[in-house]
């Protein structure tokens, strides 16, 4: 689970802080991080070994997204941190800064030290797990990228082979269709073709047939009439 890296620990209180540190803490609580930073730096000028001033300066710089500066500020009090009542917070913030810098190895160690001093800190546990996962991904990233490149190349080759096979199959199907059409044409050329006539020609032929039939019928009727007239004459005579 990805954990949003936020500097949750507040500035140090409860120590024999100089006046500048106390002023800085009041400004920090009002989100005036730049002004708080100046007060913490003034305190360090007067006492460069002040754990509270270094710790709080790191907090102010972190809130201004100056992660390199925050890391350097915490490093000034690294020797005093293990014995400080705020050691758990110190290591938590160190891990948080390391996450922002993508220094996952340092983050894992820092959160581990924070949990050793405060095992009940759930946020430290979550960040510790997250840092370990990111470290594993970072360490295996080079090999993973190479394997992914090889897989991509293989997929591209497979796609190209499939396309070539499809193109070849399409060409074969087209040739088969042309051969089939040619065979059908050859068979049609070897058989008598029925002559097609237009509707006008069909009407003309029908009219001619009907006219011929009428002419034939008229001749038959005329022949019958002549024969009947001849019989009548013979009878009368």
List of domains in the chain: 19-140 (1.25.40.10)
CA 157 to chain centre: 21
Per residue in 134-189, pLDDT (tens digit) is 999 988 865 555 565 566 567 667 666 776 777 777 777 777 777 777 777 767 66
The better pLDDT of the pair 14, 204 is held by 204
Per residue in 29-82, pLDDT (tens digit) is 999 999 999 999 999 999 888 888 888 999 999 999 999 998 898 888 888 888
Per residue in 179-234, pLDDT (tens digit) is 777 777 767 666 555 566 777 887 887 888 878 778 877 877 777 777 666 555 55
Query: What distance in Å separates the CA atoms of residue 100 and residue 131, rounded to the nearest whole number?
Result: 11
Token reading at 30? 């009002």
Enumerate residues 6+ apart whose C-beta is below 8 A from 5. Answer: 96, 99, 100, 127
Per-residue model confidence (pLDDT) at position 207: 83
């Amino acid at each position: 689970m990805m954990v949003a890296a936020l500097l949750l620990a507040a500035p140090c209180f409860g120590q024999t802080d100089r006046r500048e540190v106390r002023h800085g803490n009041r400004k920090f609580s009002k989100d005036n991080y730049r002004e708080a930073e100046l007060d913490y730096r003034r305190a360090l000028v007067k006492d460069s070994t002040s754990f509270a001033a270094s710790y709080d300066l790191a907090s102010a710089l972190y809130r201004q997204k100056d992660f390199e500066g925050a890391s350097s500020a915490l490093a000034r009090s690294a020797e005093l941190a293990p014995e400080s009542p705020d050691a758990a917070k110190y290591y938590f913030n160190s891990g948080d800064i390391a996450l922002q810098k993508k220094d996952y190895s340092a983050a894992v160690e820092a959160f581990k030290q924070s949990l050793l001093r405060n095992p009940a800190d759930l946020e430290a546990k979550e960040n510790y797990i997250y840092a370990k996962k990111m470290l594993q991904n970072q360490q295996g990233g080079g090999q993973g990228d190479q394997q992914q490149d090889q897989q991509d190349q293989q997929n591209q080759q497979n796609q190209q082979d499939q396309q070539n096979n499809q193109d070849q199959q399409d060409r074969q199907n087209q040739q088969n269709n042309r051969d089939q059409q040619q065979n059908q044409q050859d068979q049609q050329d070897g058989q008598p073709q029925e002559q097609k006539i237009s509707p006008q020609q069909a009407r003309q032929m029908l009219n001619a047939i009907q006219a011929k039939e009428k002419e034939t019928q008229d001749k038959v009727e005329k022949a019958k009439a002549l024969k009947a007239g001849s019989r009548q004459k013979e009878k009368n005579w």
